[in-house]
Amino acid sequence: MRTKLMLSLAAAAMSALVVAGCSNDSTDSSMDGPSMDSSSPSTSESESAAAELNDADVMFAQMMYPHHAQAVEMAAMANGRTDNPEVLKLASAIEAAQQPEMDRLTAWLADWGQPAPSADMGKMSGMDHSADSGMMTQQDMDALMVASGPEFDRQWLTMMIAHHTGAIAMANIEIADGSNPDAQQMARTIVDTQQQEIDTMQSLLG
């Protein structure tokens, strides 16, 4: 009887150890799995977010907005100052392309936690008129405002070529230095579209 009792106790003890071991393995597995899964994506996502935005992207959005604003203003001047259908067609295309881009630039800066852009040319502290920005001075804009007919066409085409050339230079900086894919895609579009318009305007000037 005593021998049977001892064997029964030993068997019970072994069973308890086996159950405890399985329980511990299950607990460890359930704790380790989610912990590893939850840490990896968060690290990956933060690194991805950081890689998709840098100072060049922010500068591109902040500076291209007022640059586009001036182009849209110049485009609007064509109405009532020229009857040249080619100039009017170009002006309409410029406004149609650049106003939506201004809206996108504003939305990006808001998403990036940056101040809203300004169309005030005086606030473009990062852009120097001598640095191939293509921006017109107030005197340039005033002269264009009072011109009409063929003289308006000549001034408008000349100024817009310079303006587009500056935009392309800014866009190329974003392509080279930026990291945000949306901003870089807009920059490539600006280069392609505005170079085509430059070619057209140069042919109109003769």
- Domain-embedded: residue 12: no
Is residue 42 assigned to a domain? Answer: no
Task: From residue 206, give the alpha-carbon distance in Å to each of 15, 145, 199, 203.
Answer: 98, 23, 11, 5
115-155: pLDDT as tens digits: 999 887 655 544 444 357 899 999 999 999 999 999 999 99
| Spatial separation of the C-alpha atoms in residues 111 and 119, rounded to whole Å | 19
What's the sign of the alpha-carbon dihedral 168, 198, 122, 66? Answer: negative
Q: Report if residue 28 sits inside a domain.
A: no
14 in any annotated domain: no
Instruction: Supply the mean pLDDT for the chain.
Output: 81
Please check whether residue 11 lies inside any domain of the structure: no
Q: What is the model's pLDDT at position 28?
A: 44
Residue 189 has pLDDT above 60, yes or no: yes
Report if residue 41 sits inside a domain.
no
**Residue 195 is part of a domain; what is its CATH number?**
1.20.1260.10
| Structural domain harbouring 72 | 55-205
The total of structural domains in the chain comes to: 1
How many other CB atoms are there within 10 angstroms of residue 189's CB atom? 13
